[in-house]
Amino acid sequence: MMHLLLPERIETNRLLLQRLRYEDAEEIFYTYASKSEATKYMSWPTHESIRDTREYLIYAVRGWNLGIDYSYGIRVKETNQFIGSFGVLNEAGKLQFGYIFSPTQWGNGFATEVCKTMMPMLKVQLGVFRIGTFVDAENVASSKVLLNSGLMEEARLSKWFRFVNQNNEAKDCILFKLP
Protein backbone atom coordinates (compact mmCIF):
# COMPACT_ATOMS: atom_id res chain seq x y z
CA MET A 1 0.00 0.00 0.00
CA MET A 2 1.21 3.46 -0.91
CA HIS A 3 1.40 5.70 2.19
CA LEU A 4 1.00 9.45 1.99
CA LEU A 5 3.56 11.58 3.78
CA LEU A 6 1.14 13.82 5.66
CA PRO A 7 2.02 15.46 8.97
CA GLU A 8 -0.01 14.50 12.04
CA ARG A 9 -0.42 18.20 12.88
CA ILE A 10 -1.12 21.07 10.46
CA GLU A 11 -1.72 24.74 11.24
CA THR A 12 -3.66 27.27 9.18
CA ASN A 13 -4.21 30.94 10.03
CA ARG A 14 -7.03 30.19 12.47
CA LEU A 15 -7.10 26.42 12.80
CA LEU A 16 -5.18 23.42 14.05
CA LEU A 17 -5.64 20.06 12.34
CA GLN A 18 -4.47 17.02 14.28
CA ARG A 19 -4.61 13.34 13.49
CA LEU A 20 -7.77 11.94 15.10
CA ARG A 21 -7.23 10.17 18.40
CA TYR A 22 -9.37 7.92 20.60
CA GLU A 23 -9.51 10.80 23.10
CA ASP A 24 -11.50 12.88 20.58
CA ALA A 25 -14.58 10.61 20.79
CA GLU A 26 -16.82 12.77 22.98
CA GLU A 27 -15.96 15.99 21.16
CA ILE A 28 -16.63 14.35 17.77
CA PHE A 29 -19.94 12.91 18.98
CA TYR A 30 -21.28 16.14 20.50
CA THR A 31 -19.78 18.53 17.91
CA TYR A 32 -21.18 16.93 14.74
CA ALA A 33 -21.47 13.13 14.56
CA SER A 34 -24.76 13.00 16.52
CA LYS A 35 -26.29 16.03 14.75
CA SER A 36 -28.62 15.15 11.88
CA GLU A 37 -28.26 18.58 10.23
CA ALA A 38 -24.46 18.08 10.15
CA THR A 39 -24.55 14.49 8.88
CA LYS A 40 -27.32 14.93 6.28
CA TYR A 41 -24.86 14.83 3.35
CA MET A 42 -22.42 12.30 4.85
CA SER A 43 -21.86 8.80 3.51
CA TRP A 44 -22.00 7.38 7.06
CA PRO A 45 -24.97 7.18 9.44
CA THR A 46 -25.54 9.77 12.17
CA HIS A 47 -24.04 8.41 15.39
CA GLU A 48 -26.68 7.39 17.89
CA SER A 49 -24.31 6.80 20.79
CA ILE A 50 -20.76 7.55 21.83
CA ARG A 51 -20.08 3.86 21.09
CA ASP A 52 -20.65 4.54 17.36
CA THR A 53 -18.02 7.28 17.53
CA ARG A 54 -15.55 5.07 19.40
CA GLU A 55 -15.99 2.33 16.77
CA TYR A 56 -15.35 4.88 14.03
CA LEU A 57 -12.14 6.00 15.79
CA ILE A 58 -10.86 2.41 15.90
CA TYR A 59 -11.26 2.42 12.10
CA ALA A 60 -9.71 5.92 11.72
CA VAL A 61 -6.60 5.13 13.77
CA ARG A 62 -6.13 1.82 11.94
CA GLY A 63 -6.79 3.50 8.56
CA TRP A 64 -4.03 6.05 9.13
CA ASN A 65 -1.59 3.32 10.12
CA LEU A 66 -2.49 1.34 6.98
CA GLY A 67 -2.21 4.41 4.72
CA ILE A 68 -5.81 4.25 3.50
CA ASP A 69 -7.54 6.97 5.57
CA TYR A 70 -5.97 10.14 6.94
CA SER A 71 -8.47 11.82 9.27
CA TYR A 72 -7.89 15.03 11.16
CA GLY A 73 -9.78 16.72 13.95
CA ILE A 74 -10.09 20.48 13.50
CA ARG A 75 -9.77 22.97 16.35
CA VAL A 76 -9.86 26.75 16.56
CA LYS A 77 -6.28 27.69 17.49
CA GLU A 78 -7.25 30.58 19.76
CA THR A 79 -9.69 28.61 21.95
CA ASN A 80 -8.77 24.93 21.26
CA GLN A 81 -12.50 24.34 20.54
CA PHE A 82 -13.11 21.18 18.49
CA ILE A 83 -15.21 22.20 15.46
CA GLY A 84 -14.95 19.50 12.80
CA SER A 85 -12.96 16.97 10.82
CA PHE A 86 -11.24 16.58 7.46
CA GLY A 87 -10.38 13.21 5.98
CA VAL A 88 -8.61 11.78 2.95
CA LEU A 89 -9.24 8.30 1.58
CA ASN A 90 -6.28 6.89 -0.34
CA GLU A 91 -7.06 4.24 -2.94
CA ALA A 92 -3.52 3.60 -4.27
CA GLY A 93 -3.03 7.21 -5.35
CA LYS A 94 -6.63 8.12 -6.08
CA LEU A 95 -7.56 10.47 -3.25
CA GLN A 96 -11.07 11.32 -2.16
CA PHE A 97 -11.54 13.84 0.63
CA GLY A 98 -14.34 15.14 2.77
CA TYR A 99 -15.04 17.37 5.74
CA ILE A 100 -17.69 18.02 8.33
CA PHE A 101 -18.17 20.90 10.76
CA SER A 102 -20.40 21.69 13.69
CA PRO A 103 -23.49 23.54 12.42
CA THR A 104 -22.58 26.33 14.89
CA GLN A 105 -19.42 26.94 12.82
CA TRP A 106 -21.00 27.05 9.35
CA GLY A 107 -20.43 30.23 7.37
CA ASN A 108 -17.10 31.12 9.02
CA GLY A 109 -14.95 30.08 6.06
CA PHE A 110 -13.34 27.22 7.99
CA ALA A 111 -14.02 24.55 5.35
CA THR A 112 -12.47 26.71 2.63
CA GLU A 113 -9.47 27.49 4.85
CA VAL A 114 -8.87 23.78 5.48
CA CYS A 115 -9.34 22.77 1.82
CA LYS A 116 -7.05 25.56 0.56
CA THR A 117 -4.38 24.31 3.00
CA MET A 118 -4.80 20.61 2.21
CA MET A 119 -5.06 20.66 -1.61
CA PRO A 120 -1.43 21.77 -2.24
CA MET A 121 -0.23 19.21 0.34
CA LEU A 122 -2.16 16.41 -1.34
CA LYS A 123 -1.07 17.47 -4.82
CA VAL A 124 2.65 16.94 -4.08
CA GLN A 125 2.29 13.46 -2.62
CA LEU A 126 4.24 10.87 -4.60
CA GLY A 127 2.08 8.46 -6.58
CA VAL A 128 -1.09 10.56 -6.40
CA PHE A 129 -2.82 10.68 -9.76
CA ARG A 130 -6.23 12.05 -8.81
CA ILE A 131 -7.72 14.24 -6.07
CA GLY A 132 -11.44 14.72 -5.87
CA THR A 133 -14.69 14.42 -4.03
CA PHE A 134 -18.43 14.47 -4.67
CA VAL A 135 -21.39 16.23 -3.10
CA ASP A 136 -25.15 15.93 -3.16
CA ALA A 137 -26.24 18.38 -5.87
CA GLU A 138 -28.45 20.05 -3.23
CA ASN A 139 -25.42 20.79 -1.02
CA VAL A 140 -24.81 24.25 -2.46
CA ALA A 141 -22.62 25.45 0.43
CA SER A 142 -20.15 22.60 -0.04
CA SER A 143 -20.07 23.11 -3.81
CA LYS A 144 -19.07 26.75 -3.18
CA VAL A 145 -16.33 25.68 -0.76
CA LEU A 146 -14.87 23.29 -3.33
CA LEU A 147 -14.92 25.83 -6.15
CA ASN A 148 -13.37 28.47 -3.87
CA SER A 149 -10.67 25.96 -2.95
CA GLY A 150 -9.50 25.49 -6.54
CA LEU A 151 -11.45 22.40 -7.53
CA MET A 152 -13.51 22.21 -10.68
CA GLU A 153 -16.81 20.57 -11.46
CA GLU A 154 -16.10 17.47 -13.50
CA ALA A 155 -19.53 15.88 -13.87
CA ARG A 156 -23.11 15.91 -12.72
CA LEU A 157 -24.30 12.39 -12.10
CA SER A 158 -27.96 11.50 -11.99
CA LYS A 159 -29.10 9.37 -9.03
CA TRP A 160 -25.46 8.54 -8.26
CA PHE A 161 -25.24 7.97 -4.50
CA ARG A 162 -27.53 6.84 -1.71
CA PHE A 163 -27.04 9.03 1.35
CA VAL A 164 -27.87 6.91 4.39
CA ASN A 165 -29.18 9.95 6.33
CA GLN A 166 -31.60 10.87 3.53
CA ASN A 167 -33.65 7.66 3.59
CA ASN A 168 -31.09 5.95 1.31
CA GLU A 169 -32.73 7.71 -1.62
CA ALA A 170 -30.49 7.85 -4.72
CA LYS A 171 -29.44 11.47 -5.16
CA ASP A 172 -27.96 13.51 -8.00
CA CYS A 173 -24.33 14.34 -7.26
CA ILE A 174 -21.64 16.66 -8.50
CA LEU A 175 -18.16 15.24 -8.96
CA PHE A 176 -15.28 17.66 -8.31
CA LYS A 177 -11.60 17.25 -9.11
CA LEU A 178 -8.45 19.18 -8.40
CA PRO A 179 -6.99 20.12 -11.82
Pinpoint the alpha helices (H) of 67-153: 110-123, 140-148
Task: Give the pLDDT confidence score for residue 18 in this predicted structure.
Answer: 98
**Could you read off the pLDDT of 91-113 as tens digits, one per residue?**
999 999 999 999 999 999 999 99
Angstrom distance (rounded) from CA 39 to CA 166: 10
pTM of the model: 0.96
Task: Give the pLDDT confidence score for residue 60 in this predicted structure.
Answer: 97
- Count the alpha carbons within 13 Å of 56 in the hemisphere toward its beta carbon: 25
Exposure string for 132-161, b = 16+ CB within 10 A, e = fewer: bbbbbeebeebbebbeebebeeeeeeeebb
Mean pLDDT calculated for residue range 100-127: 97
Which superfamily does 9-131 belong to?
Gcn5-related N-acetyltransferase (GNAT) (3.40.630.30)
Angstrom distance (rounded) from CA 120 to CA 101: 21
- Cβ atoms of residues 136 and 171 within 8 Å: yes
The domain ranges of the chain are 9-131
Over pLDDT 90: what percentage of the chain?
Answer: 99
Other CB atoms within a 10 A radius of the CB of residue 65 amount to 10
Task: Give the pLDDT confidence score for residue 1 in this predicted structure.
Answer: 66
**Could you read off the pLDDT of 48-92 as tens digits, one per residue?**
999 999 999 999 999 999 999 999 999 999 999 999 999 999 999
